[in-house]
Every structure is written in structure tokens, then in C-alpha cells.
């Protein structure tokens, strides 16, 4: 449902000359908006589409990976809600609202499930607030994952999430936007410390599989360069490095795999499988449990 606020701010897509909220800079590309374009959204500006086009030049099928990632997110949330009994989700680096948002997927299992979206891009807050205007189970908070306490101690987060109960913590396509010097493993571990046993963590992350998949490795190196030059972020890490981000949590079957291989749903896979199999190994995903 398009609320009044959403209509007022519905300036994106090809309408960048319309009124833009002051906290948003339409002259600089943002990760959230470039990704939005890649997965077919309209909340992006010309600068974002230019960056996306540069990426599409080296990997024309990159949108397949975006779709595979979103499909993984959907299955991971459904698994956590349905099979692991999770009733509260903390989605960090949630991105712009799109088809199959976490609260929508979770509410298919139980409409009382609580969801907190967290992102450091102000555009996410603007759009998120608008679509969630009358939602009592779901909220959105602007905060930076590099400052875990600003999330864990945030009163709005605390209102929705009871850390004494299991949480579904989502780090989906966000940790590759942290630099090595940010210490993504250490930051993730800080979140794991406060999670109750039975909590689950989902991670997806750009991957450079090295000699195991040389074509994918070459594509990862080139993509990393384009990301660095245009967005100043985007690391393609090895499967071992990505697995390390789960710390000592227990990875559940099938472990760390390309997103489409995680508890595969043959129908979805058929529609999303990239014709270029190199791309398939440029992002890995998994879910782990805190015991």
C-alpha cells in the first residue's frame, strides 16, 4: 500500500528532478541504490545506473546473482521462522524495500513475527518508514554495523527485539561492504555474543573461490576493481574467510554454498540459474545456529 509519505518521496527512478529529501545526495552513487537497480527496482538515480552499467559490462548476468541472493534470503527466513521457530529478526544492511521483504516472508509463517531493518543509508529509512507507516510488528533504524552498540543498545531495536529469546540475525550481502580493517569477523562476533541459544545467523557474501573456479576468480578480481573504483567498497573474499565470519556458530546443512544451492528449491533455481556458471561461484551463502 502506497502511503501519503511514500507518494511524496516517490521521486526516484527517472524522476530525479523531483523533490529529494535533504539527507540524500543524488550526485553520489550508493550501494543500496545500485543494488536496487540491479534487482529491477526504481529507487535509484542516474549516477547509480552508471555504476551498475559498468558492472554489467564485465558481468552482464550479474542481476542473476542479485536474484539468487534474494531467493536465498527468502528461504533462509522461511527456514528460521518455520523450522527453527524464530519469532524476531534483525536484518542488518537490509537495503531498499523490494519484492519479498523479510517481514512479508516471515509473516507468511506467523504475522506476529517482529522485524527490525537496519541500514546506514538514509534512503532506506525514508522508504522503509513510508511502507511501514502503520506496521506494529516491523520497524526501520538508521545505524552502522561498524558500531554494534549503536544497534544493540538502540531503544527502537530493544522495543522490538528481546535478546533473551532466539533471534534471526541477517547479514545478507552486507559484510562484503566492510573493509578488512573494519574487522568484519570481530564486528559479527560482537553481535553473536548477545544472541540467545537457538538464534540463527544468515550470511551471504561476494566470493573469490581462487583456483577451485578460475573463471569465477577472474570475474571476482575484475568486479572488485570496478566496485572499488566506483563505490569504494565491495570485497570478494575466499570461502574460508567468509566461513570465518560465522565464528564458532554451527553451520547447518548444506554449509557455505552458492545461494541457489542453499536448501535448493528446484522451481526457483530453474528461473534464476545464470547461463554463465562462473558467476555462480562469485557469491556464497550459509546459515548457522548458536547452540
| Residue ranges in contact with ligand SAM by CB under 6 A | 31-32, 35, 69-70, 73, 93-95, 119-121, 124, 144-146, 172-174, 177
d(CA 204, CA 176): 9
| CB-based closest residue to ligand SAM | 95
94/230 with CB nearer ligand SAM = 94
The CB-of-144 to ligand SAM minimum distance in angstroms stands at 4
Question: Which residue lies nearer to ligand SAM by CB, 202 or 212?
Answer: 202
Handedness of CA 101, 74, 58, 119 (dihedral sign): positive
**d(Cα 162, Cα 279) in Å, to the nearest integer?**
39
Helix and strand totals (H; E) in the chain: 13, 7
Helices (H), 195-286: 214-231, 239-244, 266-272, 277-280
Smallest gap from residue 35 Cβ to ligand SAM (A): 4
Q: Which is nearer to ligand SAM, 4 or 9 (CB)?
A: 9
Nearest to 36 by CA among 47, 23, 25, 27: 47
> Which CB atom, from 118 or from 249, has the smaller least distance to ligand SAM?
118
- Distance between first and last Cα of the chain: 39
Q: Answer whether 284's CB lies under 8 Å from 256's CB.
A: yes
Residues paired with residue 88 on neighbouring β-strands, in sequence order: 114
Nearer to ligand SAM, 4 or 200 (CB): 200
Q: How far is the CB of 128 from ligand SAM (least distance, A)?
A: 10
C-beta separation of 90 from 122 below 8 A: no
Helices (H), 19-61: 31-38, 46-58
Q: Cβ 146 to ligand SAM, closest distance in Å? A: 5
Q: Which is nearer to ligand SAM, 146 or 212 (CB)?
A: 146
Q: How far is the CB of 8 from ligand SAM (least distance, A)?
A: 22
Closest separation in Å from C-beta 199 to ligand SAM: 18
Amino acid at each position: 500500500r502506497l502511503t501519503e509519505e511514500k507518494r511524496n518521496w516517490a521521486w526516484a527512478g527517472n524522476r530525479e528532478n523531483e523533490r529529494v529529501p535533504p539527507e540524500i545526495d543524488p550526485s553520489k552513487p550508493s550501494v543500496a541504490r545500485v543494488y536496487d537497480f540491479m534487482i529491477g527496482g526504481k529507487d535509484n538515480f542516474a549516477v547509480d545506473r552508471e555504476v551498475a552499467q559498468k558492472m554489467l559490462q564485465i558481468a552482464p548476468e550479474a542481476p542473476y546473482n542479485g536474484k539468487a541472493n534474494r531467493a536465498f534470503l527468502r528461504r533462509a527466513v522461511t527456514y528460521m521462522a518455520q523450522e527453527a521457530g524464530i519469532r524476531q529478526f534483525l536484518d542488518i544492511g537490509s537495503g531498499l524495500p523490494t519484492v519479498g521483504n523479510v517481514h512479508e516472508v516471515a509473516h507468511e509463517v506467523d504475522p506476529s513475527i517482529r522485524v527490525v531493518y537496519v541500514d546506514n543509508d538514509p534512503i532506506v529509512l525514508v522508504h522503509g518508514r513510508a511502507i511501514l507507516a502503520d506496521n506494529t510488528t516491523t520497524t526501520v533504524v538508521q545505524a552502522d554495523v561498524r558500531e554494534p552498540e549503536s544497534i544493540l543498545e538502540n531503544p527502537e531495536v530493544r522495543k522490538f527485539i528481546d535478546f533473551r529469546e532466539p533471534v534471526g540475525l541477517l547479514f545478507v550481502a552486507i559484510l562484503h561492504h566492510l573493509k578488512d580493517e573494519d574487522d568484519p569477523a570481530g564486528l559479527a562476533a560482537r553481535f553473536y555474543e548477545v544472541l540467545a541459544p537457538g538464534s540463527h545467523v544468515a550470511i551471504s557474501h561476494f566470493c573469490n573461490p581462487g583456483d577451485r573456479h578460475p573463471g569465477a576468480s577472474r570475474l571476482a578480481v575484475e568486479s572488485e576493481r570496478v566496485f572499488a573504483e566506483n563505490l569504494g567498497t565491495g570485497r570478494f573474499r575466499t570461502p574460508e574467510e567468509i566461513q570465518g565470519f560465522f565464528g564458532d556458530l554451527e553451520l547447518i546443512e548444506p554449509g557455505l554454498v552458492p545461494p541457489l544451492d542453499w536448501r535448493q528449491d528446484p522451481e526457483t533455481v530453474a528461473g534464476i540459474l545464470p547461463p554463465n556458471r562462473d558467476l555462480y561461484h562469485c557469491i556464497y551463502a550459509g546459515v548457522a545456529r548458536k547452540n
